[in-house]
Structure 1
Amino acid sequence: MRFLITYVIGLIFGMGIIFGGMANPAKVLNFFDIAGTWDPSLAFVMGGALGVTALGYRFVLRRPAPRLDDVFHLPTLMRVDGTLIAGSAAFGVGWGLAGFCPGGALPAIGTLDSNVLIFTCAMIIGIIAAKLIQSRSKVGVTV
């Protein structure tokens, strides 16, 4: 049952990404092109997502625990550090160059568009490389 619920939640998320235009790299790149063919419609998509998320967190975090787990898994790091800045920069550069972010690329994989597949492969390689670098930088560090 847990797998089915997770699948349905992912399906709803993916459909929202597709219908909102976030899986269309031309639309995303036009959103970033303020001096040219600017398309502000994605600001409404992002604003709507932010509103739903803010309300959802207020509602869900009042519960003692999530329905499908024992505890909430929330970030504990409350400061801006080099890792956060580097990750944010990599995300922004990738999104601006390719017109895809991970949330937009994954639902678009089904199109079998070579640009989507190349982006997704590069993203996976980047995730693996970041994890390797992070694990090697923690070797020998005692807390």
Structure 2
Amino acid sequence: MRNLFPGLIVGVIFGAGLALSDMVNPARVQAFLDVAGAWDPTLMFVMGAALVPSAIAYLIRRRMTRPLLGDRFSIPESRTLDRPLLLGAAMFGIGWGLVGFCPGPALAGLVFGAWQPWLFVMAMLAGMALHHLYTAPRSVILKHEG
């Protein structure tokens, strides 16, 4: 429970940044992907600006033995490009390009009252549930075989 409040504050700041930069607007994302038409470079600047605090955070993290509000860091150790990762990345990119939403902006967009982010979030949750149902039995079988 002690980690709830800092996470909530960070989430609100992140959502406010997405709203301020208009990244909750799927037309803005689709215009960025329209390199042969009315290209809008705004998303490139938003992503570039996000690299600065992220790089600083990774540099600070290297000097820390554990996080301030947790027991351990949760940073993926694997650098393997496998089939599930590549398929997931492709599905994410195709979906992002088609509808102009990814999870962060869709969640931030829920507060504006439009139906599109709600539909996207419901579809995303359904996809997560299906993935869990598909992978959970396989992981149980693999544990019993191993």
TM-score, with structure 1 as normaliser: 0.93
Contact 1:32–1:38 (CA under 8 A) maintained in structure 2: yes
Greater than 4 Å deviation, 4+ residue runs: none
Q: Separation in 2 of the partners of 1:72 and 1:35? A: 42
Aligned residues: 143
For structure 1, which segment, 70-79 or 130-139, has the greater mean C-alpha deviation from structure 2 after superposition? 130-139
Structure 2 residue matching 1:139: 3-state secondary structure = helix
For structure 1, which segment, 54-63 or 66-75, has the greater mean C-alpha deviation from structure 2 after superposition? 54-63
Q: Which amino acid aligns with 1:72?
A: F
1:55 is displaced (CA, Å) by 1.5
Q: Separation in 2 of the partners of 1:80 and 1:20? A: 32
Contact 1:22–1:28 (CA under 8 A) maintained in structure 2: yes
Instruction: Report the equivalent of 1:55.
Output: 56
Contact 1:22–1:42 (CA under 8 A) maintained in structure 2: yes
Instruction: Report the equivalent of 2:85.
Output: 84
For structure 1, which segment, 41-50 or 133-142, has the greater mean C-alpha deviation from structure 2 after superposition? 133-142
Instruction: Report the equivalent of 1:26.
Output: 27
TM-score, with structure 2 as normaliser: 0.92
Q: Separation in 1 of the partners of 2:113 and 2:128? A: 21
Q: Separation in 1 of the partners of 2:50 and 2:74? A: 20
Question: Where does the alignment leave 5 or more consecutive residues of structure 1 unmatched?
Answer: none
Contact 1:32–1:96 (CA under 8 A) maintained in structure 2: yes
CA RMSD of superposed structures (Å): 1.3
The percent of aligned pairs where both chains have the same amino acid is 38
How does 1:51-130 map onto structure 2 within 5 Å?
Answer: 51-130=52-131
Contact 1:21–1:42 (CA under 8 A) maintained in structure 2: no
Contact 1:31–1:41 (CA under 8 A) maintained in structure 2: yes
1:117 is displaced (CA, Å) by 0.8
Q: Which amino acid aligns with 1:5?
A: P
Q: Which amino acid aligns with 2:81?
A: V
Q: Separation in 2 of the partners of 1:51 and 1:83? A: 29
Contact 1:109–1:116 (CA under 8 A) maintained in structure 2: yes
Question: Where does the alignment leave 5 or more consecutive residues of structure 2 unmatched?
Answer: none
